Amino acid sequence: MSKVEFNKETGPREVFCGLTSIVWLHRRMPDAFFLVVGSRTCAHLIQSAAGVMIFAEPRFGTAILEEKDLAGLADAHEELDRVVNDLIARRPEIKTLFLVGSCPSEVIKLDLATVAEKLNKRFLGQVRFVNYSGSGIETTFTQGEDGALKALIPLMDSSDEEKLLLVGTLANNVEDRFKKIFRNLGISNIESFPPRQSTELPKIGKNTKVLLTQPYLSDTVRDLKHRGCEIISAPFPLGIEGSTEWFLAAAKAFKISELKVHEIISPLINRAKLALESHKEILKGKRLFLLPESQLEISLARFLHNECQMDLIEVGTPYLNKDLMKEEINLLPDNTKIVEGQHVERQLDRVRESNPDLVVCGMGLANPLEAEGISTKWSIEMVFSPIHGIDQAADLAGLFSKPLKRNQILTSKTLVTH
Amino acid sequence: MELTLWTYEGPPHVGAMRIASSMKDIHYVLHAPQGDTYADLLFTMIERRGQRPPVTYTTFQARDLGGDTAELVKKNIKEAVERFKPKTLLVGESCTAELIQDQPGALAKGMGFDMPIVNLELPAYSKKENWGASETFYQLTRTLLKEKVSSSDKINPLRWRELGRRPKVNILGPSLLGFRCRDDVIEIQRILSEQGIDTNVVAPLGASPDDIERLIDAEINICLYQEIAEASCEWLKRNFGMEYTNTIPIGIKNTIEFINEVHEKLDLPLTNREELENKSKLPWYSKSVDSNYLTGKRVFIFGDGTHAIAAAKIAKEELGFEVVGLGTYSREMARQVRATAKDLNVEALITNNYLEVEDAMKKAAPELVLGTQMERHSAKRLGIPCSVISTPMHVQDVPARYSPQMGWEGANVIFDDWVHPLMMGLEEHLIDMFKHDFEFVDGHQSHLGHTATNKNNILNSDEKKEKNSKEGIIWTESGRAELTKVPFFVRGKVKTNTEKYAILRGIPEISDETLYDAKAYFS
């Protein structure tokens, strides 16, 4: 392991909670509905965080707890039953309903598992119910996906068939590309989790080789291991280097020669390097500060340093699973400063002191930092854009080069913000 | 439990944040878990604010619940006070913290600070954002002025004469994330100033705690947005005898009525009444022949109480529309909206459910919708032109240019914003006349730029084009499949570029790989 500096920080945070991941999960599985059991704050968070109010009737909603639910005047279980009945009557196309716990439902200890169990019996053969928590007291942003996937594992049948299982939500076009490349490598049995339809869950067992596409799935990995799956240790498929290592690790698990991998992916690598060039021109030597949010920060730092030659000031992450991130950390330059957790005020002090060229941060902080003359990139875009794989390396770099390019065009530094 | 997909208002602590963020020298310590910080982006993204809201979130976690969350609250209060040095501290809790009952306000008061501390108790499970804003502004006003209640005589609205100066008023209610508040304040101050009336304090927008303490230097209060300021105005009236205005100066008639009301309350003679009607272009524009076509246009109105009521009056009396639906999500103003609806012979729709609003909209079959950003989406789906008149709003509804809703310029803005989505007078006439000519494109909707049917046409013609290719280049199945995955709005460009690349390289067949080669080549 390279000599990376690990730090921990606690204090006030500026991050999303796990409910936010519903925004991309519901798109991945169009036959599922995500019902948050929470407060008006939860409903307001989801609609504000993603600006997704373009849908007439989204496939997510909030059962808002009211005074009478809390005072015990209404039986919360009965109330939830009523809401679910109405919802299913209105949306008969729903095949899987996720009951998503929130901060208030966790604090009042609303037992969603029992509710799900009862509903499963009632709607047997029509709708399946699973539950997980996306609460802010337990989860950050992308950890919501970890919870949702973990909740689906018990529904997955067992099979000893040899297969490659890609785990973590991918954009559909990226998933298709990956599958094609794996087929070219000679791996024919490939499935994805989460699948594109919630009812088409892959079967798993001792010959399932799991290849993670996202770095934030600690609990899911643990449960897949319990089901006998083999976890392929690899960096994550962001950038050319990460993706190459990722393909190599998968090939090794399937006893495919390195030579074969290089033969298949080297044309991809060559054109990706070509495409990366113009972005590297802009990013080279620029100093980067990543605030914690998506857990993609370490992989992004690795890509932006190793392939785009950016200098790393600080790499924040809301949560660090050293085991899962082992391969990534190995690829980081020596003396990289990783900070797990956050004290947002102290971290912003460090941002200002270090005078970075680019800060990766949440939307709440982006404009205030821009107003101070510091260029920013919103981290939420990483989870909405197709950024995985060799073919997307230049697009990924483009997310970071664009604000710098814009900053060069617009040179005025002393803007008054109203 | 209430099933909610989209909500018109946030929780009450977001209302408190609107007050804190609108003001100077205030800090708000909010006992809340991580995730609740999302509310910052309402200010930094929708309003494009260059400053973070002055809020510290205690960020308690599940593991803190077994321990001492009260200590965590105190630690955060201490740090926030040291770092931000506010003149007044607001302390409150969000929905989750309300359940664990740490009473952060009481904790803060026990910490021995010199500054005034406002303990905000905003019931998250029964109240909403506007109520929270109103309550916060009221509690803040009360805290900062309560010591002066007994020592002050009732304020005589005519005292400006004895004092030998121009009359002074406060403008209360404008806040961040309110609809066009920034510009309304400028417009109203300008109008008052023309009438010889000075502004003492504008609050909460731009005010400091010191300014709140100075509120009683004015003779009367202008209650600009009842949702936010009525409770404070009422308290100031009860305790200091300060009169406040009831007319909301949106539209020509209401602006004149408002000026009248202010003059009456101050016993100030109104000398230039005749000039007032011509301060705005709306009356003449509305009378000009092109506006004939506006007569009887069916309009559906939904928004907060203040803006919905004003819009109904303007629509009917100043533009000659027919109001076919009126409603609000502001339950606090339901009574007034119902009264207005009754005068218009429609049934008021009081609801939080945007789907109910969409259904009502569909049934009313309007030609124009005036609503919030929810109704903008609904109207778009139904293919009806829409103008946004109220929060909740989109970043687009915070324009760079001066565009108030109130006063003379507000009336100009309203004329343009409501009428432009419609077809112009002669245009409508000509389209009607020529629509049977063969050149006429079916579904012509002038410059409205919708709807779904048009989009389908683009897609279909795109797909047709994909099957043929120029220069004899063949699209293989994999190439075509890949092309369909490209979003439709850039598909044409990707197709052209790929073909250009194939020609350049002498590639006869375009596969998915060619697509990516071309992408890399042109990037």
Question: Mind listing the pLDDT tens digit for each residue in B221-249?
Answer: 999 999 999 999 999 999 999 999 999 99
Strands A60-64 and B2-4: antiparallel
Query: Taking each helix axis from N to C terminus, what angle separates B407-419 and B252-266, rounded to the nearest 10 degrees?
Result: 160
Nearest-5° Cα angle at A130, A128 to A136 = 150
Is there a contact between B35 and A104 if contact means CB atoms under 8 Å apart?
Answer: no
Q: Tell the burial category of B436 from Cβ atoms under 10 Å away from its Cβ (0-12, 13-18, 19+).
A: exposed
Place of tokens 């300021």: B229
Residues contacting residue B156 through CB under 8 Å, at least 6 positions apart: B219, B241
Q: Tell the burial category of B231 from Cβ atoms under 10 Å away from its Cβ (0-12, 13-18, 19+).
A: buried
Is there a contact between B7 and A40 if contact means CB atoms under 8 Å apart?
Answer: yes
Q: Which residues of A touch B373 (CB under 8 A)?
A: 53
DSSP structure class, residue A88: H
Confidence of residue A383 (pLDDT cuts 50, 70, 90): confident
pLDDT of residue B150: 80
Does residue B79 belong to the interface with chain A, where contact is any CB pair within 8 Å? Answer: yes
What is the C-alpha to C-alpha distance for residues B146 and B167, in angstroms, rounded to an integer? 24
3-state secondary structure (DSSP) of residue B343: helix
What is the C-alpha to C-alpha distance for residues B236 and B217, in angstroms, rounded to an integer? 12
pLDDT of residue B381: 87
List, in sequence order, every residue forming a beta bridge with A69; answer none if it has no partner: none
List, in sequence order, every residue forming a beta bridge with A287; answer none if it has no partner: A311
Token reading at B207: 């005010």
- Is residue A211 within 8 A of residue A218, CB to CB? The reply is no
What is the C-alpha to C-alpha distance for residues B96 and A352, in angstroms, rounded to an integer? 33
Q: Which residues of A touch B76 (CB under 8 A)?
A: 12
Distance of CA B400 to the CA centre of its chain: 15
Residues of chain B predicted below pLDDT 70: 152, 424-471, 487-489
Neighbour order of strands in the sheet with A190-193: A190-193, A163-167, A208-212, A230-231
**What ipTM was assigned to the predicted interfaces of this complex?**
0.94
What is the C-alpha to C-alpha distance for residues B8 and B2, in angstroms, rounded to an integer? 14
List, in sequence order, every residue forming a beta bridge with A128; answer none if it has no partner: A96
B267 catalytic? Reply is no
**How far, CA to CA in Å, does B431 sit from each of B170, B369, B444, B455?**
51, 22, 8, 22
What is the C-alpha to C-alpha distance for residues B293 and B295, in angstroms, rounded to an integer? 5
* Among B453, B444, B482, residue whose Cα is nearest residue B466: B482
DSSP structure class, residue B52: -
What is the C-alpha to C-alpha distance for residues B179 and B307, in angstroms, rounded to an integer? 9
Distance of CA B182 to the CA centre of its chain: 11
Token reading at A14: 């500026």
pLDDT of residue B473: 85
Q: Tell the burial category of B259 from Cβ atoms under 10 Å away from its Cβ (0-12, 13-18, 19+).
A: buried
pLDDT of residue B274: 81
First to last CA, chain A: 48
pLDDT of residue B441: 56
Place of tokens 């797990």: A340
Which amino acid belongs to residue B79?
A: E
pLDDT per residue as tens digits for the range B351-393: 999 999 999 999 999 999 999 999 999 998 888 999 999 999 9
- Is residue B404 within 8 A of residue B183, CB to CB? The reply is yes
CB atoms under 10 Å from CB of A414, counted, come to 5
Q: Tell the burial category of A113 from Cβ atoms under 10 Å away from its Cβ (0-12, 13-18, 19+).
A: middle
Q: Which residue has the higher pLDDT, A320 or B489?
A: A320
Average pLDDT, chain A: 94
Chain B residue with CA closest to A138: the answer is B62
Chain B residue with CA closest to A342: the answer is B59
Confidence of residue A71 (pLDDT cuts 50, 70, 90): confident
- Is residue A155 within 8 A of residue A128, CB to CB? The reply is yes
**For residue A411, how many C-alpha atoms fall within 13 Å in the half-sphere facing its CB?**
0
Length of chain A measured in residues: 418
SS (H, E, C) A189-240: CEEEECCCCCCCCCCECCCEEEEECCCCCHHHHHHHHHCCCEECCCCCCEHH
* Among A317, A314, A315, residue whose Cα is nearest residue A342: A317
Does residue B142 belong to the interface with chain A, where contact is any CB pair within 8 Å? Answer: no
pLDDT of residue A52: 56
b/e per residue B19-33 (b: at least 16 CB within 10 A): bbbbbebbbbbbbbb
What is the C-alpha to C-alpha distance for residues B216 and B154, in angstroms, rounded to an integer? 10
Residues contacting residue B222 through CB under 8 Å, at least 6 positions apart: B169, B170, B171, B172, B188, B192, B244, B245, B262
* A-contacting residues in B 13-32 (Cβ below 8 Å): 13-14
Does residue B61 belong to the interface with chain A, where contact is any CB pair within 8 Å? Answer: yes
Long-range CB contacts (within 8 A, 24+) of A264-267: A264/A181, A264/A184, A264/A185, A265/A181, A265/A390, A267/B513
Q: B25, B64, B290, B462: which is the annotated catalytic residue?
A: B290
pLDDT of residue A361: 96
**How far, CA to CA in Å, does B287 sit from each of B237, B265, B322?**
41, 33, 16
Is there a contact between B58 and A362 if contact means CB atoms under 8 Å apart?
Answer: no
Query: Taking each helix axis from N to C terminus, what angle separates A172-185 and A258-283, rounded to the nearest 10 degrees?
Result: 140
List, in sequence order, every residue forming a beta bridge with A288; answer none if it has no partner: A312, A358
Cis, peptide link before residue B451, omega less than 30° from 0: yes
List, in sequence order, every residue forming a beta bridge with A230; answer none if it has no partner: A209
pLDDT per residue as tens digits for the range A182-223: 999 999 999 999 999 999 999 999 999 999 999 999 999 999
pLDDT of residue A408: 85
pLDDT per residue as tens digits for the range A284-302: 999 999 999 999 999 999 9
- Is residue B57 within 8 A of residue B34, CB to CB? The reply is yes
Nearest to A17 among B34, B76, B377 (CB): B34
Nearest-5° Cα angle at B28, B27 to B33 = 140
Q: Is the pLDDT of residue A413 over 80?
A: no
Does residue B190 belong to the interface with chain A, where contact is any CB pair within 8 Å? Answer: no
**For residue A188, how many C-alpha atoms fall within 13 Å in the half-sphere facing its CB?**
1
Is there a contact between B516 and A271 if contact means CB atoms under 8 Å apart?
Answer: yes
What is the C-alpha to C-alpha distance for residues A2 and B120, in angstroms, rounded to an integer? 50
Backbone angles phi, psi at B387, to 5 degrees: -125, 140
**How far, CA to CA in Å, does A223 sit from each of A137, A156, A210, B200?**
22, 11, 12, 65
Does residue B334 belong to the interface with chain A, where contact is any CB pair within 8 Å? Answer: no
